[in-house]
């Protein structure tokens, strides 16, 4: 049973249906990052995307907060340990936008392989330049998928459907875990020298931060192409630039950045060997609706019934 005046903050833009579900459940809703500071003292639930950073200091200002739901998968913008210490449940919606992110990764593979953005840019300025934009085909190539969560597994399936040989790398996954996924589980050291294309889908943590560094690139075959739709800090930007400038890396497609948005003079924006998109992995109508609906439903289920879905970290109190 939800007590009257139980309040949920939605601090990042989400579909109208998100608010509707909460209101229909008898919850009061506050919307907008501009309402964040003034509402902290009254909220019991909090829904956010990647645009809000939940710090320990903010949590200290929210004594009645019982649960947080990240509308999406990544929770690196939430101090989960601080939340747990304060008795706050943290949830996410890991499956809601996984297909959108996987499709974007595949789209970037095509763009990278066939020089599609470069061709478009030339056409827009009156050019043609076919001879300098000869690409490669995906069929018959080896795709290494790093991180075999819901997104990575979908990328494996889609890559296999394109006729690629798919190798999956994830130290926390066994062959039995991905028995239905058309990918061969391999150690990273075995997979990298075989990779024609690499897509990155790991969570951001101390082990994965900066994992694509000079050593990682040195272990790859010459001419590898790299796609990142996970988190920006997984890639050491300077190392990637060195890899491309040396010719070791044939190109990269990047959707996520250390700082978002990246600075106007960020070298990724203008490098001829890098394709950039503005964190579009989950930017589909379907994914936006999915994350909004699931976030609201999970908040309602917890506040009304104590039901926990997709817990990232449980309260310690």
pLDDT digits (tens, 9 = 90+) for 24-60: 999 999 999 999 999 999 999 999 998 899 999 999 9
**Do residues 218 and 175 both lie within one domain?**
yes
Q: Structural domain of residue 181, as residue ranges?
A: 98-276
Is residue 139 within 8 Å of residue 109, measured between CB atoms?
Answer: no
pTM of the complete model:
0.87
User: What span, in angstroms and rounded, lies between the C-alpha atoms of 261 and 102?
Assistant: 21
DSSP letter at 222 equals T
pLDDT digits (tens, 9 = 90+) for 142-179: 999 999 999 999 999 999 999 999 999 999 999 999 99
Name the residue among 47, 98, 28 with its Cα closest to residue 281.
98
**Do residues 113 and 253 both lie within one domain?**
yes
Residue 1: pLDDT band with limits 50, 70, 90: low
Flag whether 203 is in a domain. yes
Is residue 31 within 8 Å of residue 285, measured between CB atoms?
Answer: no
Residues 6+ apart with CB under 8 A from 163: 138, 139, 140
**Do residues 291 and 229 both lie within one domain?**
no
Flag whether 1 is in a domain. no
**Do residues 118 and 244 both lie within one domain?**
yes
Is residue 201 within 8 Å of residue 217, measured between CB atoms?
Answer: no
Flag whether 193 is in a domain. yes
**Do residues 117 and 127 both lie within one domain?**
yes
**Do residues 145 and 293 both lie within one domain?**
no
Alpha helices in 31-71 (DSSP H): 36-39, 56-60
Q: Count how many domains the chain has.
A: 2
User: What span, in angstroms and rounded, lies between the C-alpha atoms of 44 and 29?
Assistant: 10
Task: Identify the helix (H) or strand (E) that includes residue 29.
Answer: strand 28-31
Q: Calculate mean pLDDT across residues 309-316.
A: 86
Q: Exposed, middle or buried, 86 (CB in 10 Å: 0-12/13-18/19+)?
A: middle
Cα distances from 90 to residues 58, 78, 293, in angstroms, run: 15, 9, 17
**Do residues 255 and 309 both lie within one domain?**
no
Q: Calculate mean pLDDT across residues 52-69.
A: 97
Q: Is the pLDDT of residue 209 over 90?
A: yes
Flag whether 308 is in a domain. yes
Token reading at 235: 């890639």
Q: Calculate mean pLDDT across residues 16-30.
A: 96
**Do residues 147 and 80 both lie within one domain?**
no
User: What span, in angstroms and rounded, lies between the C-alpha atoms of 236 and 211?
Assistant: 7
**Do residues 271 and 198 both lie within one domain?**
yes
**Do residues 143 and 102 both lie within one domain?**
yes
Give the domain CATH number at 73.
3.40.50.720
Q: Is the pLDDT of residue 285 over 90?
A: yes
User: What span, in angstroms and rounded, lies between the C-alpha atoms of 295 and 30?
Assistant: 15
**Do residues 116 and 218 both lie within one domain?**
yes
**Active site amino acids:** 231, 260, 279
Q: Exposed, middle or buried, 309 (CB in 10 Å: 0-12/13-18/19+)?
A: middle
pLDDT digits (tens, 9 = 90+) for 223-274: 999 999 999 999 999 999 999 999 999 999 999 999 999 999 999 999 999 9
- Give the CA count within 13 Å in the CB-facing half-sphere of 151: 29
Flag whether 140 is in a domain. yes
Q: Is the pLDDT of residue 4 over 70?
A: no
Q: Calculate mean pLDDT across residues 1-21.
A: 90
Beta bridge partners of 169: 146
**Do residues 193 and 260 both lie within one domain?**
yes
Confidence (pLDDT) at 73: 85
């Amino acid at each position: 049973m939800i007590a009257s005046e139980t309040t949920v903050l939605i601090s990042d833009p989400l579909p109208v249906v998100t608010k509707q579900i909460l209101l229909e459940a008898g919850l009061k809703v506050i919307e907008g990052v501009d309402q964040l500071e003034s509402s902290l003292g009254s909220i019991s639930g909090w829904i956010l995307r990647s645009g809000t950073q939940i710090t320990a200091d903010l949590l200290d200002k929210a004594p009645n907060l019982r649960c947080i739901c990240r509308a999406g998968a990544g929770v690196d913008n939430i101090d989960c340990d601080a939340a747990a210490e304060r008795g706050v449940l943290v949830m996410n919606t890991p499956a809601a936008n996984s297909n959108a992110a996987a499709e974007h990764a595949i789209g970037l593979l095509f763009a990278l392989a066939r020089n599609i953005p470069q061709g478009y840019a030339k056409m827009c300025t009156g050019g043609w330049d076919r001879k300098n934009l000869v690409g490669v085909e995906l069929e018959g190539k080896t795709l290494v998928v790093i991180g075999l969560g819901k997104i990575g597994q979908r990328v494996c399936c889609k890559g296999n459907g394109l006729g690629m040989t798919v190798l999956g790398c994830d130290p926390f996954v066994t062959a039995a875990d991905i028995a239905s996924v058309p990918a061969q589980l391999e150690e990273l050291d075995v997979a990298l020298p075989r990779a024609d294309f690499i897509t990155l889908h790991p969570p951001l943590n101390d082990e994965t931060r900066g994992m694509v560094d000079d050593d990682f690139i040195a272990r790859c075959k010459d001419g590898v192409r790299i796609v990142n739709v996970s988190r920006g800090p997984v890639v050491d930007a300077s190392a990637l630039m060195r890899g491309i400038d040396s010719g070791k890396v044939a190109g990269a497609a990047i959707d996520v950045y250390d700082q978002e948005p990246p600075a106007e003079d960020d070298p990724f924006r203008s490098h001829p060997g890098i394709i950039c998109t503005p964190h579009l992995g989950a930017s589909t109508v379907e994914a936006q609706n999915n994350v909004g609906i699931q976030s609201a439903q999970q908040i309602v289920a917890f506040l009304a019934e104590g039901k926990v879905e997709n817990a990232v970290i449980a309260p310690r109190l």
